[in-house]
Amino acid sequence: MKVIVTGATGMVGKGVLLECLEHPDVARVLSLGRSPLGMAHPKLVEVVRPDLFDLGAAEQELSGYDACFFCLGVSSLGMKEADYHRVTHDLTVNVARTLLRLDPGLVFTYVSGAGTDSTEKGSSMWARVKGKTENDLLGMGFRAAFMFRPGYIHPMKGVRSRTALYRALIPLLAPLHPVMKALFPSRVTTTQDVGLAMIHVVQRGHPRRILDPRDINALAREPS
């Protein structure tokens, strides 16, 4: 399997990248992002594009892949809806359309979030925008597309969040993680489980197109 990972400088993307690099069924990993990762691995190649709306010069490097694990995202805090829509929806759809044209058989997985609004009509701005993004991806014509809606994501294997608030909370929540996972299995997952679930959903599919943490954790535990 050859996969593309976006957002690998962020917490979720880095966790997914590490699982792909370690997995025996993943032969090649292309990191698509706006800045270099600062790491090397025999499986890893990088395409760095300061403007991900302009992928024309990179199309040859992006073709020939089986799946895209789209983990790029920003917090909506302090953002106007138009700006958040451009980064969250427009950028994602632009990358997705390019990859679909290059590889019509591609499987596309998108990291959304718990509480995403599929109706696109709710009061929460970020949830409406994420909902529209999901809906557009699901209707785009990929061989398969899966929307991952994690709740609390616990970082594993030394992965750190770039968000200051999340970094501050992790040391406080880490001792409670096993308890949270036991009490709230439909709300808690890890970066490791997200990565494994993405690999497994490409390998064998899933009856649901929108996956919550319980689905993600179950997929992660299935044998490769």
Q: Read off the CATH number of the domain in which 202 is found.
A: 3.40.50.720
Contacts of 2 by beta carbon, 8 Å cutoff, 6+ apart: 26, 27, 28, 29, 30, 64, 65, 66, 67
Question: Mean pLDDT in the chain?
Answer: 91
Print the domain residue range for 21.
Answer: 2-221
pLDDT exceeds cutoff 80 at 220? yes
pLDDT digits (tens, 9 = 90+) for 19-47: 999 999 999 999 999 999 999 999 999 99
Give 210's strand partners. 147
Positive/negative CA dihedral, 41, 168, 156, 200: negative
Lowest pLDDT segment from 57-61, 146-150, 182-186, 219-223? 182-186
Token pair listed for 44: 């890893």
pLDDT tens, residue by residue, 107-157: 999 999 999 999 999 999 999 999 999 999 999 999 999 999 998 888 877
Q: In terms of pTM, does the model score above 0.85?
A: yes
**Given a cut of 80, is residue 185 above it in pLDDT?**
no
pLDDT of residue 159: 72
**What is the Cα–Cα distance from 211 to 89, expressed in whole angstroms?**
19
Number of domains present in the structure of the chain: 1
